[in-house]
């Protein structure tokens, strides 16, 4: 009998709702912000040396929260230098939120924004078809490599677009996170199809070493409050379970035994810790900075 479980990505509206709830219930953006405040200034210290314009490419820029923080750090390092910021983002909804955010942010006078409603794969295909290979001073791919067809090829392609002093920043879930435990154990039970694949920082040394790339890894501590996942019928809990498993209506469509095992796993130390009466899922991230 065919499984009734379907990928969460087949319903973009529910995916976005679950993603926004995840951001609200997790310290994801807080932990990225700490990295941007503490480590990013050193990472970008020489990307614009001698440049009349700094070119930044955001792959999967979402609603722009992290993009604008990155741009503020580039501006602080290179005051008054114009920045050309191009954004690749497949969701029209996210792009419109990004544009609203830009409209409400001051100090962006020297930044030119261009949005492309497309995936990273589509961008690469379009550039190849147009025989273009524009070079960039900074490229960042934050939490988006799960949605490309061929991860090593995508990393090699965007790395090939770096200028001589540029950097490529990748942020994704850590190999030491609860995601690693959950997906290594149960990933094969989830209806991933070709829309999404599981990858963590644990997979990256092999990918980067085999491509002969130089890189640095930074571990970013983060957690997600999943207490509501254990309350039967809780709407937030159901949305978070969808997000954790990338499954549409997981609570309603997963076989009862899978649901029982998975919710049991989520409570274990490999995934989460109990703190002040809450179940906090280990949402640690890893930032990978790749040299040109």
- Mean pLDDT confidence for 47-72: 96
The answer to whether 21 and 236 have CB atoms below 8 angstroms apart is: yes
Residue 103 pLDDT > 80, yes or no?
yes
Residue 125 pLDDT > 50, yes or no?
yes
The answer to whether 230 and 45 have CB atoms below 8 angstroms apart is: no
Residue range 108-118, pLDDT digits in tens: 989 999 999 99
Residue range 236-285, pLDDT digits in tens: 999 999 999 999 999 999 999 999 999 999 999 999 999 999 999 999 99
Residue 3's pLDDT band (boundaries 50, 70, 90)? low
Per the annotation, does 28 bind a ligand? yes
Residue 1 pLDDT > 60, yes or no?
no
> What share of the chain in percent tops pLDDT 90?
86
- Mean pLDDT confidence for 55-74: 96
Residue 193 pLDDT > 70, yes or no?
no
Domains and CATH numbers, the chain: 6-290 (3.40.50.150)
Per the annotation, does 283 bind a ligand? yes
The set of residues, in sequence order, having a beta carbon less than 8 Å from that of 118 and lying 6+ positions away, is: 88, 89, 90, 126
Long-range Cβ pairs for the range 110-113 (8 Å, 24+) = 110/75, 110/80, 110/81, 110/82, 110/83, 111/71, 111/75, 111/82, 111/83, 111/84, 111/85, 112/82, 112/83, 112/84, 112/85, 113/85, 113/86, 113/87
Q: How many other C-beta atoms can be found within 10 angstroms of the C-beta atom of residue 125?
A: 12
- DSSP symbol at 9: G
* Torsion angle, alpha carbons of 191, 182, 281, 279, to 10: 90
Residue 51 pLDDT > 50, yes or no?
yes
Residue 2 pLDDT > 60, yes or no?
no
Alpha-carbon distance 106 to 97, whole Å? Answer: 16
Strand-pair partners of 275: 278
Alpha-carbon distance 127 to 212, whole Å? Answer: 24
The answer to whether 218 and 40 have CB atoms below 8 angstroms apart is: no
Residue 14's pLDDT band (boundaries 50, 70, 90)? very high
Choose among 261, 211, 219, 222: nearest CA to 241: 261
């Amino acid at each position: 009998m065919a499984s009734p479980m379907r990928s969460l990505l087949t319903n973009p509206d529910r995916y976005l709702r679950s993603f926004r709830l995840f951001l609200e219930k997790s310290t994801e953006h807080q932990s990225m912000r700490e990295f941007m405040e503490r480590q990013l200034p050193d990472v970008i210290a020489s990307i614009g040396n001698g440049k009349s314009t700094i070119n930044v490419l955001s792959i999967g820029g979402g609603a722009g929260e992290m993009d604008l923080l990155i741009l503020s750090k580039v501006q602080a390092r290179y005051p008054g230098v114009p920045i050309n910021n191009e954004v690749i983002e497949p969701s029209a909804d996210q792009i419109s939120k990004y544009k609203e955010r830009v409209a409400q942010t001051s100090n962006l006078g020297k930044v030119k924004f261009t949005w492309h409603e497309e995936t990273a794969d589509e961008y690469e295909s379009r550039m190849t078809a147009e025989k273009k290979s524009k070079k960039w001073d900074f490229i960042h791919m934050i939490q988006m490599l799960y949605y490309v067809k061929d991860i090593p090829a995508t990393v090699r392609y965007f790395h090939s677009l770096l200028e001589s002093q540029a950097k490529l920043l990748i942020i994704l879930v850590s190999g030491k996170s609860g995601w690693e435990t959950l997906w290594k154990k149960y990933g094969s039970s989830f209806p991933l199809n070709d829309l999404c694949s599981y990858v963590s920082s644990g997979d990256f040394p092999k990918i980067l070493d085999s491509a002969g790339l130089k890189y640095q890894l930074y571990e970013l501590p983060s957690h997600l409050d999943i207490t509501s996942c254990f309350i039967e019928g809780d709407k937030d809990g159901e949305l978070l379970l969808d997000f954790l498993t990338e499954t549409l209506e997981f609570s309603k469509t997963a076989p009862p035994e899978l649901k029982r095992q998975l919710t049991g796993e989520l409570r274990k130390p490999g995934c989460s810790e109990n703190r002040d009466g809450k179940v906090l899922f280990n949402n640690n991230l890893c930032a990978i900075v790749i040299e040109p």
